[in-house]
Amino acid sequence: MIYLSCDYHHGAHPKIMERMNQCNMEPNTGYGEDPHCAHASQMIKDLCQDQSVAVHFMVGGTQTNTTIIAAALRPHQGVVTAVSGHINNHESGAIESTGHKVIGLPSDDGKLSAAQIHEYYLAHKQNESYEHIVMPKMVYISNPTEFGSIYSKAELEEISRVCHEDGLYLFMDGARLGYGLMSPENDLDLPVITKCCDVFYIGGTKCGALFGEAVVITNPSLKEDFRFILKQRGGMLAKGWLLGIQFETLFEDGLYFEICKHAVDQAMRIKKAFESKGVAFQVDSPTNQQFAMLTADVIRKFDEKYATCDDEKPTGKAVRSVRFCTSWATDPAEVDELIKDIEAWC
């Protein structure tokens, strides 16, 4: 079985394991107050070209999304997202469990537009029942999105402008940020993201780490007492240095970017193979996730040899979207094999 169903099928990049082995018997202070976390934070500040940001390390994505949103909002405020946003669909109601409404706006490709955000803001503000409707206060975007699409610099800057004019926090879920930044179509970088967002995170779990997400907070009012909320929501890892070590390693000599580029390169090969056979995509993705539209017959063939992600299966549709997902760990030889099969079966 060749594993292409997600980007968290393997342990960590070997360099991370090596460093964790080296540091294993080194005594450290707990809860993220150790030199590894301090060093990794500093590396991130440098990469973001902003020494004023606050950096926190957390274990996983749902935990990170929930903690950030719970820390930011008052009880009557909600978070705006594309309907396909991870917080709306795949976190078992984690955000609502903190008391906040997730406000889903329609989107075909997983992205929100600045116009859409401003329109929703205005519709609420001018409504006669203003005080009877949840106040939008934060905008959640994922980059890359759940469909692999990415925001351009111009799009992000326009969203940021609208958010700040309308008093909305802009929060970017970067669980797969590395795969976005290394896309051939990308024109964003960490300093621009830092300037545009009030808070975002750089994903480790899906990009080479055993686990870990690095939260970067730029808005001073979101920095206050963040560690209390981190602890309250079960997100303060006792042996916090495990997170520090992983991000230290990822950001040394550009390892993070190098291994994410590898994954995107492999995905682009898969994309091209499907395209050459005239297969359509649910969304045109320039990153490590490719959603090919396949018939049930073809899917059956792939299922015997490849682990993929087929969320549409219950619908029983004749043509369904199937996700092929590469990662830092994807073996090019397995992609060779896949390309041959695409050519034969599609």
Q: Which of residues 228-287 bind its own copies (CB under 8 A)?
A: 228-229, 231-239, 242
Length of the chain (residues): 346
Q: How far apart are CA 266 and CA 327, in angstroms?
A: 8
**In this chain, which of 26, 46, 108, 165 binds its own copies, going by CB under 8 A?**
26
Q: Which tokens sit at 174? A: 């970067």
Smallest distance from the beta carbon of 86 to its own copies, in angstroms? 9
Q: Judged by CB, which is closer to its own copies: 152, or 232?
A: 232
Among 188, 176, 332, CA closest to 267: 332
Smallest distance from the beta carbon of 313 to its own copies, in angstroms? 7
Smallest distance from the beta carbon of 27 to its own copies, in angstroms? 4
Q: How far apart are CA 334 and CA 299, in angstroms?
A: 18
Check binding of 174 to its own copies (CB under 8 A). no
User: Does residue 233 come out as left (phi exceeding 0), alpha (psi in the -120 to 50 range) or beta?
Assistant: alpha
Q: Which residues pair with 2 in a beta bridge?
A: 306
**In this chain, which of 309, 337, 345, 346 binds its own copies, going by CB under 8 A?**
309
Q: State which of positions 38-77 bind its own copies (CB under 8 A).
A: 59-64, 66-67, 70-71, 74-76
Among 259, 256, 60, CA closest to 173: 60
**Number of residues counted as binding its own copies (CB under 8 A):** 85
Check binding of 317 to its own copies (CB under 8 A). no
Among 184, 208, 210, CA closest to 326: 208
Q: Is 340 helix (H, G, I), strand (E, B) or coil?
A: helix
Q: Judged by CB, which is closer to its own copies: 58, or 196?
A: 58
Q: How far apart are CA 192 and CA 216, in angstroms?
A: 13
Smallest distance from the beta carbon of 138 to its own copies, in angstroms? 13
Q: How far apart are CA 124 and CA 131, in angstroms?
A: 9
Report cis status (omega within 30 of 0) of the bond before 75. no
Q: Is 69 helix (H, G, I), strand (E, B) or coil?
A: helix
Q: Judged by CB, which is closer to its own copies: 151, or 256?
A: 256
- Only one of the segments 204-212, 257-265, 267-275, 298-306 lies at the binding site for its own copies (rule: CB under 8 A); that segment is 204-212
Per the CB < 8 A criterion, the answer to whether 70 and 63 are in contact is no
Q: State which of positions 4-23 bind its own copies (CB under 8 A).
A: 6, 8-12, 14, 17, 20-21, 23
Q: State which of positions 79-98 bind its own copies (CB under 8 A).
A: 89-94, 96-98
Q: Judged by CB, which is closer to its own copies: 51, or 129?
A: 129
State the DSSP H helix or E strand holding residue 136, giving kind and residue range, or none if neither: strand 135-142
In 176-245, DSSP assigns E strands to 199-203, 213-217
Q: State which of positions 101-160 bind its own copies (CB under 8 A).
A: 101-102, 122-123, 126-129, 131-135
Q: Which tokens sit at 126? A: 């001018």
Check binding of 311 to its own copies (CB under 8 A). yes
- Only one of the segments 37-45, 164-172, 202-210, 285-293 lies at the binding site for its own copies (rule: CB under 8 A); that segment is 202-210
> Which 8-state DSSP code applies to residue 253?
G
One-letter amino acid identity for 213? E
Q: Judged by CB, which is closer to its own copies: 206, or 261?
A: 206
Q: State which of positions 284-303 bind its own copies (CB under 8 A).
A: none
Smallest distance from the beta carbon of 60 to its own copies, in angstroms? 6
Smallest distance from the beta carbon of 301 to its own copies, in angstroms? 19
Smallest distance from the beta carbon of 184 to its own copies, in angstroms? 27
